[in-house]
Amino acid sequence: MTEQLRLADGPSTSVQRVINASPETLWALITDINLPARYSTEFKGAEWLNGATEAAVGAQFAGTNEHPVVGAWQTESTITMCDAPRCLEWTVKGGGGPAAVWKFTLEATDGGTLVTQHCQIGPGRSGINPAIEKMPEREHDIITYRLREHAANMERNLDGLESLI
């Protein structure tokens, strides 16, 4: 029997591929907080907050998103890991904990760099909560659909990243 996904458990998804470039070259690209906005159907852009101008642990940024079901919304994120040229992670502020945690990891390998983009949703409140509250018996299906949307956008991000090399 397949385990039922629950938002409270922080379900996640990842995509990865080897890109023919060094981790240092890719690091310069993934630390641009607006890179995903060039390729995502949902993330529209970000701006640094509180005087931050680059990726560093504790740096914050506001993101703008848009989804045909939910509409437009803003998020506030904090960089929680910035280990050049290996890992960049940020947490999206949510009610009662992170709404999401996003991460890029870079690992040198034969043929270039293994790039992984990872997303965990929940356990904090986000735009998915009203749908789950309206149809609690469909929580697994709603989360599965949302993770597929994120995975498709992450694939677009890796396509875009690769096109810049």
Residue 127 is part of a domain; what is its CATH number? 3.30.530.20
Say whether 98 sits in a helix, a strand or coil: coil
Domain range for 113: 7-163
Which pTM value belongs to this model? 0.94
pLDDT > 70 in the chain, percent: 99
- Is 41 inside a domain boundary? yes
- Is 108 inside a domain boundary? yes
What letter would DSSP give residue 34? T
Q: Are strands 112-121 and 43-48 parallel, antiparallel or unpaired?
A: unpaired
Q: Are strands 60-67 and 71-83 parallel, antiparallel or unpaired?
A: antiparallel
> Is the model's pLDDT at 128 over the cut of 60?
yes
Rg (alpha carbons) of the chain, rounded to whole number? 16
> Is the model's pLDDT at 1 over the cut of 60?
no
* Total number of domains constituting the chain: 1
Task: Work out the mean pLDDT of the chain and round it to a whole number.
Answer: 95
- What is the pLDDT averaged over residues 5-33? 96
- Is 2 inside a domain boundary? no
How would residue 70 be classed by pLDDT, with cut points 50, 70 and 90? Answer: confident
